[in-house]
Structure 1
């Protein structure tokens, strides 16, 4: 590029940065005495970062002797912007020690100020989501004079220049030819003039001139904070104002002052806000709830996304200025992708544990260690840890992978939760997943394959036996598969045995059991600490007597591991292999009735003690089941392998019943019910009366099996071979399997 071309490019850059500095000026406020009080110099600066919230340095709200500023009743003071002074109050002070954490706990010279009028209309600055560690060029705010305009000193701010008016001389901010955001030659006030902009609707003061900002060289980051050029004098009125990275168009720090020994300028990184907690709430303030950092940044990110709504008349936004700066850089994950991604993340609940965020970032970056020397608390923070610098494709792949993990983790957290709130979370997780899918279309095939099967938290392992046909000897043959389940009809097949001829049922079961122990242990590990996923077994008609709770599987992954019965240690349920994909309305209606019932009732089949099987004709059973109440659950003491019991289960399934209880080794039609049957039905009644609903049945049956296996409680032996049919139509089993593992559609 020629010298003339370089100068032309520099003039173009300055035009773009002028718009950014105009927005930064309108979001920088002055903090001063309460509205209506005696006129006084501003105490310092602050930055509007979310609707009704100002970020500043905590020391700005203290006088030079360390005492709290002289405020009005209830601690009210003034915040000046757009030519007006509005009432505000200190809400959070991050510089205060946390008594519960001890004196060594980390503190930050930051405070959050709340505007007291929730209807106050104002712009907001953009806070960076990534740590400022490799920046070079930046701007700082000059400060305010007595009218709240610019550059008038006061009595604090670590500068050692109490009451001094500071105006940097021309050239004092470094070589004006270096970097992409240098000031105009001369660097003094008025060198840039005013930036033109479209004001929001309603009365507005003129836009502040862009020379409210001084270009500085960003140096380093250490324990004191972010450092910038020692040749820049920081006005006391600048304390609490923004440190603006002009390359990315973001606020990366809050100016603290000038170090008295080595004279470098210092700023608190905005990532220090990640330490914000409820313990920093000032007495009497309303606050942001139990997780104020997540709440604050959600307000911030959603506000910026809403600023791009169609039909708004507020003129150019901060995002527009960022987009102008970043245009033409060839980024695949640009400011528009970031804007939408952070809005979608802001609509999700906070992660249940910060370690989940670090684990997701570590998985994306393919390293198990922490992604950096900074705390990651929210999904937004994880997003900020993934910028890859000069490689646009690697950066895009990382963000797509991370957001896919977040969408799945969030959906998993509420997959079984009832209520409107959980449904709303599932909807937002689905929106994020759709956004990720749209951005993934440009990835290379191998990356789409790698990112596709995101490691998730399984809720169950499903063993399915698929009947094929009968051999010449009349023996039924089967194929089988094993899948991991994630709820709502989402399955991942992890093991398949498929052949043209199939194998007899007993042989298929033995093949499954040889591999099932290790598969269950792996699923337990993926599900989380101390988790025990549910075992689900889908069988065809005629195999409803399968006592899967008594199956014995390897207790560890050792080659010589002992075999242990699976039923006492984890929930085991039976599912109907004939129900899949298409949900019968009667099935769904019965399930919803059971879920809504305050109490479950055992529905004995045959209906009365002493009735023999002949009195329980198919038509009578059909009538009994069709007219049963919402909370009814069929209970049979007969064998369900054949005869009356098999017919009864078939009728129950055809009339929509999703759950039922029977012993694997019930009695046949050759004898009537006896005392053992009465004990069984009494036990089932007691189980259902105290169940608390159908959702708890699998775990309650597991507890019964455990007591029966250990003979820990008298009268529970009837539960040793208890079978629980539990067929959730909102989580149907997958379609018939093919010759390779696959994820089933909803």
Structure 2
């Protein structure tokens, strides 16, 4: 018996001859693609794997993957053009640094399988099956496989890669998938063959390396991946069959299908702060939060790994219940999460614990809209010098607990300087806060164009936007100290509790100021107004001016140009998308808009790109004083 055969592990060749494993291997091979691009020395050939619809995961060094390179993906003998969505950065020479991964978008590719990825580290000595291309026996790249075992970590440039011990990993296999035979998941991709004088095999990149990519590529990839495997459950079903075999490895308390279903359910579910959510779910267990947990799906996998505790509802069931009760969750999605928790609790014998938890949740987690801390940032025009502004920031934990965080004095500063100071204040406050924080920007209408929701406050995490992590709303500074506006403003705000409709204005509506005034005074039941794009002097700008003076408390619009008269113009698509997904609970609107902003980061063509929310509670003041006026000296 050769060393590679001997290293297959417990039970000799049983692992690779089981029916489930053989089908999984065939699926992996069907998901493999040939990637051709322009490398440093001309044409470069490597491998890749389809992991989501029209999405390929490969090594960045395959084809010297940059946005300027021409990439060709070959699948089932057909060639398709591809573009780089995100990729690790090249090094001056030698092996590419970590993360040497790239995500490709393949054009015109339809109806294809996708490999199931897993972020679990294989067991030491676990059997692995690598697939890729090579030109060892023919000039044209041909499918080739390598059988080996997991050999532990190998440090490379300060990062830990994985060792593949067994068959040789030939040139051309880079970027190809590596199947963990015990779990039935693709755990990594091939990076390079062995070093000289080293053991046979090579180095692998763990799937976790995808998280290091910029621009939200990881979030988008995982979302599409998880939804696909719930809709097309062939892979989870085979993994579940594998779990019943002697060498199958069960990952936590959930079956493969249960795990896949929950990952798909949370793919579009708005989540509170992950640390807070972890505390909700683990309760009295006293477990520390894993800092490597950056996505909601990470928390799902971490909680599913926990053992059952007699008399306590399992944290993964608690998670489904908590998410079903979050603001911004569509009632249909909440019902499915509740059904999932009932099914799992029944199977695990925790039905009584689930009923008790639900009774407590009814008292402690009432769905009354977003709660938590507010940071109110007022940018007031200076009364001493035009074009300059004074900044005041309040921290409000509840109506009776308000603290001044920052207050300007003197003639103020230009807006660029104010922006820099305010970003620093917010960065500091968010770093020390726990739980959800709503960010309220009180500005004059001249600053409504500022994309506060797209601010990037984290220098080392430039892919993160403020509006996807926290509810971000605008408030109108000009009407805060005008008693004539305040009474009608309050009247409309009170009606907001009962009236859940949005009144939409068409992008071609060109009424005069006088006509708008008459219309708003006639319709004092309007509480939420939807507008097309707002630019200086546009009809929508005029409608907004009158609406604010008429006391309309909530206004939606989008930044960016609109093709007037076009049925597919962005503003009309915004209306359709918003109405399709919105909930009747308007108190949850700031959180709902945060979810929409998160979705736009995953889809450049999303109809809600540039969405702005003015959410102006007339009774929400940062201090006992009745108005938010010029800042006072601290």
Matched, 1:402 2:319: yes
Are residue 327 (structure 1) and residue 327 (structure 2) matched? no
Residue 52 of structure 2, aligned match among 39, 50, 53:
50
3-state DSSP class of the match of 1:302?
helix
- Change in Cα spacing, 1:394 to 1:297, as seen in structure 2 (3 Å) is farther
Alignment pair present for 1:377 and 2:302: no
User: Which deviations, in whole Å up to 9, do the C-alpha atoms of 1:680-735 show, x marking residues without a partner?
Assistant: xxxxxx9995532388999423549933599999xxxxxxxxxxxxxxxxxxxxxx
Q: Does the C-alpha gap of structure 1 residues 429 and 112 become closer, same or farther in structure 2, counting only changes over 3 Å?
A: same
**2:501 and 2:267 mapped to 1: Cα distance?**
35
1:592 aligns with 2:499: yes
Tell me the equivalent position of 2:350.
444
> How many pairs does the alignment contain?
407
CA distance in 2, matches of 1:244, 1:590: 53
- Equivalent-residue separation in structure 2 for 1:23 and 1:701 (angstroms): 59
Instruction: Report the Cα distance in structure 2 between the residues aligned to 1:275 and 1:697, rounded to whole angstroms.
Output: 35
Partner of 2:83: 89
Q: In structure 2, what is the Cα distance between the partners aligned to 1:250 and 1:395?
A: 30
Deviation track 1:644-696 (CA, whole Å, cap 9, x = no partner) reads: xxxxxxxxxxxxxxxxxxxxxxxxxxxxxxxxxxxxxxxxxx99955323889
**Is contact 2:52-2:228 (8 Å) kept?**
yes
Decide whether the 8 Å contact of 1:25 with 1:212 is kept in 2.
no
Counterparts of 1:81 and 1:687, CA distance in 2:
55
Map Cα deviations across residues 527-563 of structure 1 (whole Å, 9 max, x no partner).
745899xxxxxxxxxxxxxxxxxxxxxxxxxxxxxxx
The CA deviation at 1:138 is 3.3
CA distance in 2, matches of 1:430, 1:265: 47
- Among candidates 524, 538, 557, match of residue 631 of structure 1: 524
Q: Aligned residue for 1:79?
A: 73
Q: In 2, distance between residues paired with 1:446 and 1:519? A: 38
1:335 Cα deviation after fit: 0.9
1:691 alignment partner in structure 2? 551
How much does 1:52 deviate?
0.8
Alpha-carbon distance between aligned partners in 2 of 1:75 and 1:270, rounded to the nearest angstrom = 24
Q: CA deviation at 1:13?
A: 5.5
Whether the 8 Å contact between 2:308 and 2:314 is mirrored in structure 1 is no
Residues 140 and 241 of structure 1 are in contact (CA less than 8 Å); yes or no, is this contact kept in structure 2? Answer: no
TM-score normalised over the length of structure 1: 0.45
CA deviation digits over 1:488-522, x for unaligned, max 9? 899xxxxxxxxxxxxxxxxxxxxxxxxxx99988x
Q: 1:218 to 1:395 in 2, by over 3 A?
A: farther
Distance 1:145 1:362, change over 3 A: same
Superposition deviation, residue 325 in structure 1: 0.6
Distance in 1 separating the partners of 2:72 and 2:189: 19
- What is the SS of the residue equivalent to 1:25? helix
Q: Does 1:219 align with 2:152?
A: yes
Q: Which has the larger radius of gyration?
A: 1
**How far 1:116 moved relative to its partner?**
1.8
Alignment of 1:502-651 (within 5 A): 528-529=436-437, 591-592=498-499, 631=524
- 1:361 deviates by 3.1
Corresponding residue SS for 2:61? helix
How far 1:397 moved relative to its partner? Answer: 1.8
Alpha-carbon spacing, 1:426–1:13, altered in 2? closer, same or farther (3 Å):
same
Are the counterparts in 2 of residues 234 and 257 from structure 1 also a CA contact under 8 Å?
Answer: yes
Q: 1:688 to 1:704 in 2, by over 3 A?
A: farther
- Deviations 1:461-491 (CA, angstroms, capped at 9, x unpaired): xxxxxxxxxxxxxxxxxxxxx987532899x
**Greater CA deviation, 299-308 or 428-437?**
428-437
Give yes or no for contact 2:54–2:106 (8 Å, CA) kept in 1. Answer: yes
Cα distance in structure 2, aligned partners of 1:520 and 1:427: 36
Change (3 A) 1:519 1:133: farther
Question: What is residue 464 of structure 2 aligned with on the other side?
Answer: none
State the match for 2:33 in structure 1: 29
Partner residue in 2 for 1:237: 172
Residue of structure 2 equivalent to 1:197: none
Deviating more after overlay: 107-116 vs 426-435: 426-435
Aligned partner of 2:229 in structure 1 is 304
Structure 2 residue 109 is matched with structure 1 residue 109: no
What's the TM-score, normalizing by structure 2?
A: 0.52
C-alpha contact 1:94 1:109 (8 A) present in aligned 2: yes
CA distance in 2: counterparts of 1:372 and 1:484, whole angstroms: 24
Structure 2 counterpart of 1:486, from 337, 355, 367: 367
